[in-house]
Structure 1
Amino acid sequence: MRLIYHIICAAALIIAAGTAHAQVVEDSLRKIVAQRHLPLEQRIDAMDRLGQVVFFNTGWNEGLAVMRSSLALSAPMKDGRYRARTYGIMAASSFIAGDTETAYRYFDSAQHYINRSSSGLMKGYVLYMKGWLESRSHKETDAIRTLQQALDVLEKEPEGLRYRQPVYSELAGIYIKWYDLPNVEKYTRLSLEAAIRLKELEKMISTHQERGSYFLNLYRADTSRKPALDSGLFYMRRSLNLARANRERLITPSNIPFSAIGIASIFLEHFPATPANKDSVNYYNRIALEESRITRQYAVEAAAYNTLASISMNRGDYDDAIANLNNAIGISIKDPLYDKFNLSQSYLVLAQAYELKRDTSMALFNYKQYMNLYQELFDVEKMNKAKDLEARYEMARKERTLLEIRLLAEQRNRELIQARYLSGRKDKELLEARYASIVKDKALLNAKYAAGVQLKALDSANFRTAQREQELKAIGERFNYNRKLNKIYSVLTVALLLSAAFLYYAFKQRSKALRQKQQLHDLELDRLSQEHRMTVLSAMLEGQEQERTRLARDLHDGLGGLLSGVKIELSTLHQPAATSPQQAVVQKTMHHLDNAVEELRRIARSMMPEVLLNYGLGEAVREYCNGLKQSGVPVSCQVFHYRNNMSHSRQVTLYRIMQELVNNAVKHAAASQILVQLQQRDDRIFLVVEDDGKGFDPAQQRALKGAGLANIRSRAEMLQGTLEVETAPGTGSAFTIECAVN
């Protein structure tokens, strides 16, 4: 029987969950999840890993509950990759737990959420999970197509190796079922190389098993290839040694029974039935049976019983073989993901055992069970191949029967040698008993002599004891004197050390206090310097505004009135003929006076707009932008929720900032569109000026030390606000000023 093949297929059901000891990893993950300031993405990742650890080591329901908590955490996130990954893990976990309907429902959710993500890594993972489910639903052709799509996606991702490795492993498992050895060699090699590069212990263990299975199938195809058999045994032993040497680091210790049953099957199927090889079979089979019960690996436990049944069949104990085969069938049916091929082979061997016992009714019943399972697994073409394989199996079985006859002869010779060995061992034990008696007599004489020697030694010891007591008394007195003296020295030493420590502590405290005082002094100087600078700046800007107001008033009331008077006087002149040259000059002069008055009013409004004084900042910004727009400047204005509850001085300062930014955009940016936006949110004012012009380099602008941006920053600081500049050459500019209402 090809037990290695069946074991590797079952091993593909195990999902690796890490490389640290299960309890240590669980405790570590729980500490990570409990951190208060952990970013949400890291918390979700930790919850997913914790759910897998709990599922495989504590309980299925507990693990799924942790994964549902992870789903609740990722619900507010727009990127669907986190929920897709969690649903994929839950789909595999539910399938392992035997709930196929729930598993596919979870997978549908994973597909839904991965469509809301641009993560190629997670798309590859969801495709892998789809192939994983198709393979276990006996849709191998669909599974291969899906897994190849997953590889196409994952090969483009920098971190795709982490998910390519299980894809390679899954493909290797499918091709092992089809006995496609070239593809098995390719994907087991890629899977092992990826596991070594990832340095993940459990993946290295399972990939060594897969590689060993390939070499064993290669040897079965051509039994003259002895190096292939040696290589298969090497990889299987390497897998078991890795698992047992690092047992405390395994989260899924099921790798131990998988490797053990594989080695037992190799010795049983391919090595002569020598006592040493039989011992090896029993040793590895016992490990597999004990470990599979601990880890609930029903496929391995059933395989172990199949191995015991094969041993019983070889020695002619058909009743024991039937009992072991019934155990294997019961264990396989109990497995929610039992392998139908393994179960069919158990029914086949059970039928053969009943046939050898001449129980034809039970043999026929089990043959029917075997055929029913066989028809479920293969179509007509594969049935023809299976018949050919059965013929080969029968030929191999006949050859093995011949080998068993030879083995019985060798066993009888070995039993005869063993009987002779037991007889010689009894004679040896008799001689050893006589020798022991002689040794006891000699020991008794030696004991009597030793007693006499001890009596003499006791007398001399008593004399030496009395002498030593007197010496000890004198030594004790000297010791007491020295101890008192040492106490005095110790007290003095401790006092000196305490004094030195106190002086050092006082020095440190004084130094610390001086440093703190110096720091406070420096901070106070900085604060006073800042207040002085702000005071000077405020006074300077206030003086400028007052001067602007005065100039605007003088221009409007003085020069404006004067120009209006000149116009009135010209209009009172004697009207000459309409066609005379004098009338043309007068009309031209009055037109120039109108233009001068309008320009004068514009300059006055620019220096101190009356709208700002009368209606506030919002209306002033609208009027300024409308004026520019009428003059041909492409400017747009937006005012939102402005309540005009700022002080007049702060409104003037914001207005000047807006003027400076718009003038810069018109003069230097060559913009096709300028946006001015004024917005109030509660007690915060936001002024935004954007343009689509040529932009500039902020670092170069600071190096040039231009006065424009410096004035704007100074005014923003006077408002105790912030100025944010977003620009780059060729991308336009955006200036945002944020400050409080008062």
Structure 2
Amino acid sequence: MLIKIFSFFRFTIIFICLVLTGHGTSAQKLTNNLEQQYQKYKPGSIRRMMITGKYAQALFFNKQENKALAILNENIAYAKKETDGKYAAYLYTVAAINYKLLDNVKASENASRLAQFYELKTKDQETKGYVAYGLGWICARNNKEAEAIRYFLKALSFYEKSTNSESLNGRKASVYRELNSIYADWNEYELQEKYSKLSLEIALQQNDPMGLFEAYMAMGYVYEKRYESTENKTFIRSAESYYIKAIDTYNANKTRMPIPSHLSFVAINLANLYLNYFPKSYKGKALYYANLAKAQGIATENHDHVASASGLLAEIALQNGNNKEAKDYLLTALAESEYSNDTNPQIKLAIFENLSQLFQNENNFKEAIFYQKKYIETFKQIYDQKNAALGKKLEVQYEREKQKQQLLRLQLASQKQEQQLKEMSWQSLRQAQKLENLELTKENQLRKLKFTEIENSKKAQELRLSQLESFNRKQEVDLYKERISYKEKINTFYIGLTASVSLLLVLLLYAYFQRTKGIRQKEKLHLLEMEKMTQSSKISNLTLMLKGQEQERERIARDLHDGLGSLLSGTKMNLFLLKDKSKDEDQPQIERSMAQIDIAVDELRRVAHNLMPDLLLKYGLQETLTEYVSRMATPKLDIDVQFLYYTNQLPPESQLLVYRIVQELVNNAVKHAVAEQIIIQFIENESDYVIIAEDDGKGFDTSILNHLHSAGFHNIRSRVEFLKGTMQIESQINIGTNIEIKFPK
């Protein structure tokens, strides 16, 4: 029959989690929310100091201890300057708890002393209660439980005198959980029930799903333990009711429950309850909740829960006579327990023993021996640990009894009535203490006797293991003799065949890779040649196109100057001669005609100059562009050209291209941008030249630039490409445009 130890594993995990788990949103989300609140207030403000405690605790439990301590120290420095000591007392208490969690005993004690010092400088009862809670919390972790209870009761006394606040009920609930934990450890179920109910009342008032879940679980655990000691059916029904309420609370608030593995906690408890304390007719419910716990444990990757649920399912399968299913569940439990570092060794011991027995019943002696060995190894570990821990356990029990005695003394000291009755109570307490010491001595002797029995059992197990090993070795020798001759015959054949096939594969792979490598190299060379030819062709086309454009511009400029220019000059001369012979009333009309001819001559000269600037050939790029922008400027349009670090070493053909690019940029700005100011910069660097054109015009959307069929931008790009340069355009609507062109020297 399967040993029923999974419930021990279950209660240990559940109770620890109920004591240590906080509520609210997930740790990271809570930290982010608190950080936003913290940053909202200015340094040194009261609101920031009050949020510091929660923010530091959230950082600490989110593995950011150094940041938490730095924030605490920064705000403690501000709090110490306040007249009211409640802020410093509160922050020093938080620091003391955090230092204790870091095992920095000296720093924790120092922070506790400072918290008590500043607590004397305030009249705020809630702060005094929180300082007392912090001292009790540290005492509880130092195994000074009686002193911890004194501080916790003192904290509750201060809280009862406090005015109502947002944090008061939460702080009361924290004290109730600590008292619940201590009294559970002392098996004081009535007191544990009292503080569990108080926690439940606060959770109901605050409508806190996480608090309700923990309170229902704690109440269920209390009544289950009370049933074990009294076998009162009322208690087991109450335990069932509270566990079901915990499940209902979880299912109704899944999105608000930060720890999904809580569902597997309560499902394991309820399955164990139905399996061990209810009639067999409840076996179906036990099976349902065990499967629920296993599924939830798998979903949350909680290997301990999966192992515990599998153990319960194995026990149900054995009760149903299904040994194969039980074996599968046991193997699952074993596999899951191997993933966890916290699994109780007693569980593994039970798994190994039951697996060994099941395999022995199936006449699978090899597996039976294997698990029997595992059982003995685990048994030795537990035995050695128990021997080493026995003295410590008795010492702790004795110290705990002393602490209980101290607690009773404190309770008796608070009762100021009937001194004679107090003396009788002290005498009764001393007698009870003597009796308990005698019982401890008796228990120690019984343990020694039990260890002797365990030693005898271990020897019997070793004898049975030796017999099984002898039988198994005989079978292995017979099988080995039968197989050895067969293996010798085929080994040579397999070796030769394997070597031949391997050599052939190596040769084929080598030939394939060599051929593939050659093909890839040829393809790569071909692509490079094609790209080179394409580039050369493109450059040739651009060269011819630009050369043709310049030749055509030169021809048109020459024709305009020689032909139309001469014609206009002759016309002006004729008008001048006609002026002397004309009547006085015709003189103004002739002068206007001569003025218009002068304007036409100037415009003709400007057009011819733009088509083929003579200044560029005579004086260079800088003089030419300076003269060009001065001609293009108007009262409403300011154009400025700047040359930076220019050494006048640019080749003539490149100067002409730059001149054409600047012409096109200025023309575009004048025609389309409606600009009031244009700045042209030509910069010479060590390795390249830079042209920057800026205007304050209306701008445009650069994303549609590629879709526009603009001859101006096409000409600019062609010349930039011929110079092997790059062009970047930045423009914003109603702000202006910035164009930057770079080309190498």
TM over 0.5: no
Q: TM-score, normalised by structure 1?
A: 0.45
